[in-house]
Chain A
């Protein structure tokens, strides 16, 4: 098997790896780095469960090859909490029950982080439109929208 050497930073840690060029980024994160918080829902680029941030921008890690992440700074759901302390988004999702099965949640949290990074005080409609690329089969989205609104309030209060 021909492999390709890549170097990338994931959640603040530098990694050097030899990867099969056909391996998707999500499989690399999960299988090679053990970061199983990023989930595989469809592998068709539709559901958004595998959303991670690359250099601050959300991407579907099932549609990207690991070799394409050469030199990238990647953030996954595992980066959100600070030790035992949860991120305001995680606190808000817990408080508002913004999850049921939790499978889409890491992708939605990362997309929500991107939304709030760009706009600390979005409206409910902006959040609803903002998460339209992330499917959730459990919640009907309403408590997710409420959670992101609540997280925005928490972050504004802490700022």
Chain B
């Protein structure tokens, strides 16, 4: 496949671009959201998890007798029993047979919080009582905690069958790296460390399963439904036929990635239901979510060199990165695919060396978190551009501006082979500098220093990739086990006899994004109806069409393509019916304002409702070949994917719709305490054409707030022995209203030439930009001390220590 046809986007829109109130909201505002914990089934039992207190230990014996004897306990399932009941969990890692991931730990535990025994009881209270009565004997093993140590020969092993803790390593060369560095006047280098945090939505993951032994049907309600084409893998885990598993999505109280492919809770609930013969709910509590949810964020060390000319022209990037994946590696190194999609940022950098080492340690594993690893790359690259600016005594604005890809250079292929579909970066920078009052704060900074105060102004220009394709799952390998190429999203549109429209979605119900509002606005645009009249429902996977879900800022672009396709099918049929009724040729008809009419004769017209009632109820008034009803489905495949080269010097197009943003933020650092206070914050994003600007702005602000948490407060801390130090919201600090400043938002709209209406994904941007902007501001504030922060999060302790070390 080559590039898709270029779209012109000349049509005026009525609903795309309007900040309508969200379709989803009234039920949530009334407390009628229907989240998973709000939906008990008759006779439903509850699960509590016995979790490992050790980072690394052999399970010597388990005594469940006291728990089993407790009235109200209905089943106690150990890891060994679970391994008989279930096959391993679906794992997209490099070598699943050698780092096997199971529903419960068997033989040994690999991190604090790993599930060891599941206790099923009549209430969660009794289940917790039962869990406290389970006695497990452990034999402590040496903890493997530091990824650089873990990768060395002779280190204790997290997974013995793997024979090493390095799950994946490879060095990629994109472009002529040696030539770029040979041409350089200056090379700046650094070691940067981004430590792990995680999304922690206020509602953890939960699943309710009901196994029907009469039919063999396994039904699971979960606050997640993604990658439906791959759910046969979960069926395999549960040992049910793939066509007997139905996963039904219910609204989620936030995800930010953590509910992407959340198979373990579903498998636990399913396994338990099959054992006890009645419905079972497994609802993670906060401690489960913090220790054991398999969705911790990136934990990455960079050794990086950036080559440039003396005038600031960027030439090449050479980096070695070590990623601490924790005890398992469910998504392989997909986080680095996200990074490679935009590794060179908005800049014309022609060569990149990318050496990656993925290491296993005794921590909970990584999953997805808003940015999926690309946010770390953004932070690293902007850190290096700032360092180069300092080295060359250049203005941070100028060095970015002079290296921007120009608006006439799109579509632009970066050295990895991915394409940036479109962009116009300078206006975004200009707007951000103005909104963020760059000049004003530069003056204030100088004045403040006379008063002994440390104000800093930060700046980043970063990319926001959207809409991944399937090749990213396997281009890591010369001989991939499953070089799949499908990654679609689907919709069914059904127009009833009165012309009212129902849209059926096939992935994740709702994560806090706005799937119903997006769908309603896009359907309204197609059929000229009010979005509030569009009914949006969700199908379970059992009756479903293939769907990928909202990960990687995919949903709006992909559902727009699906709705466009389904609408076209419906309109084709509607035109045939109208042509018959109007005794006209279909080619002489046009769609005008919710109806079909003869071109130039607006009186010769049938509304959609008039066509619909004929289609549903008057078969014998229509041509023989027209079937009754007025509905259509569309499976919309990824619109722009190309294959990687055999030698992987070119990864092909895999993340093509490229948003862009510039954040300018102003902080004051207290040199005594190391605390950071925001004085100003501006965020300007270009996510292509906006469907609902207000909801996009909500994502920008909310994502920026998460980015602030990532940058300053949040860290999953494991001590040297692997003990988890962040088991409550008292010590895992997500931002409060007092930690987040007012964010001034600005928008540019560079339409994608390849998507309906020119939409690009925009759900992750805030968190992908804020860390670099805040670090840039902190460094600027602390410039008198000559400090450069290199470890994220920049907690008050780390900042104060850096100042003290610098003699401040």
Contact = CB atoms under 8 A, between A and B. Distances in A.
Interface of A: 20, 22-23, 30-31, 35-44, 46-47, 49, 76-78, 80-81, 86, 90, 93-95, 97, 99-106, 109, 128-129, 131-145
Contact of B202 (A103, A128, A144): A103
A47 B729 contact: yes
A102 B729 contact: no
A142 B743 contact: yes
A36 B512 CA distance: 18
B448 to A, nearest CB: 22
Contact of B729 (A20, A78, A105, A135): A135
Interface in B245-259: 251-256
B125 A20 contact: yes
Contacts of A47: 202, 729
A78 B28 contact: no
B200 interface: yes
B35 interface: yes
B201 interface: yes
Given A41-B202, A93-B25, 11 more contacts: A37-B32, A41-B286, A95-B21, A100-B254, A101-B201, A101-B251, A102-B28, A134-B737, A137-B256, A138-B512, A139-B701
B35 A103 contact: yes
A35 B33 CA distance: 11
A126 B78 CA distance: 52
Contacts of A44: 286, 728-730
Contact of B25 (A46, A99, A129, A144): A99
Interface string B254-290: 1110000000000000000000000000000110000
Contact of A40 (B33, B37, B251, B694): B37
A101 B31 contact: no
A93 B25 CA distance: 9
A30 B742 CA distance: 35
B29 interface: yes
Contact of A81 (B24, B30, B737): B30
B734 A135 contact: yes
Contact of A94 (B26, B510, B736): B26
Contacts of A131: 737
A23 B31 contact: no
Nearest to A109: B29
16 contacts: A35-B31, A39-B203, A44-B286, A46-B730, A86-B30, A94-B25, A94-B26, A99-B29, A100-B699, A102-B29, A103-B512, A104-B253, A105-B28, A136-B737, A137-B702, A139-B702
Contacts of B125: 20, 22-23
Nearest to A86: B29
B254 A101 contact: yes
A80 B125 CA distance: 30
A87 to B, nearest CB: 9
Contacts of B695: 97
Interface string B731-750: 00011111010110000000
A74 B285 CA distance: 25
Contact of A99 (B28, B286, B742): B28
A43 B285 contact: yes
B706 interface: yes
B513 interface: yes
Contacts of B734: 135, 137
Contact of A140 (B29, B252, B702): B702
B64 interface: no
B202 A36 contact: no
A23 B125 CA distance: 8
Contacts of B514: 100
Contact of B702 (A30, A49, A100, A102): A100
A103 B25 contact: no
B738 A137 contact: no
A39 B37 CA distance: 9
Interface of B: 21-22, 24-33, 35, 37-38, 40, 125, 199-203, 251-256, 285-286, 510-514, 694-695, 698-699, 701-706, 728-730, 734-738, 740, 742-743, 766
A102 B253 contact: yes
B685 to A, nearest CB: 14
B702 A135 contact: no
Contacts of B28: 99, 101-102, 105
B742 to A, nearest CB: 6
A100 B737 contact: no
B791 to A, nearest CB: 24
A140 B728 contact: no
B203 A46 contact: no
B704 A140 contact: yes
Nearest to B289: A42
A69 to B, nearest CB: 18
Given A44-B286, A99-B28, A137-B254, A104 B21 contact: no
A115 to B, nearest CB: 12
B202 A78 contact: no
Contacts of B22: 94, 97
Contact of B738 (A93, A97, A128): A128
Contacts of A103: 33, 35, 201-203, 253-254, 512
Given A135-B734, A137-B256, A137-B734, A78 B29 contact: no
A139 B202 CA distance: 12
Contacts of A145: 737
A107 B191 CA distance: 43
B701 to A, nearest CB: 4
B512 A140 contact: no
Nearest to A107: B202
Contact of A39 (B21, B199, B253, B766): B253
Nearest to B28: A102
Given A47-B202, A101-B203, A128-B737, A137 B25 contact: no
A122 to B, nearest CB: 13
State the 7 A-B residue pairs at the shortest beta-carbon distance, nearest first: A37-B31, A102-B28, A103-B253, A101-B512, A140-B705, A46-B729, A77-B31
A46 B738 CA distance: 15
Nearest to B290: A42
A115 B33 CA distance: 24
A94 B29 contact: yes
Nearest to B21: A94
Contact of A36 (B38, B703, B704): B38
Nearest to A91: B29
Contact of B705 (A105, A129, A141): A141
A138 B29 contact: no
B421 to A, nearest CB: 27
A141 B26 CA distance: 19
A29 to B, nearest CB: 11
B202 A97 contact: no
Interface centre among B202, B252, B510, B699 (most CB of A within 10 A): B202
Contact of B252 (A35, A38, A90, A101): A101
A145 to B, nearest CB: 7
B290 to A, nearest CB: 9
Contacts of B698: 97, 100, 138-139, 143
B26 A137 contact: no
A90 B512 contact: no
B200 A137 contact: yes
A79 B203 CA distance: 22
Contacts of A144: 737
Given A23-B125, A101-B511, A109-B29, A140 B740 contact: yes
A136 B285 CA distance: 17
A46 B253 CA distance: 17
Contacts of A41: 202-203, 253, 286
B31 A36 contact: yes
Nearest to B705: A140
Nearest to A139: B702
A136 B701 CA distance: 12
Given A41-B286, A44-B729, A101-B511, A132 B736 contact: yes
Scoring A43, A47, A78, A101 by chain B CB atoms within 10 A of each residue's CB, the highest score goes to: A101
B710 to A, nearest CB: 12
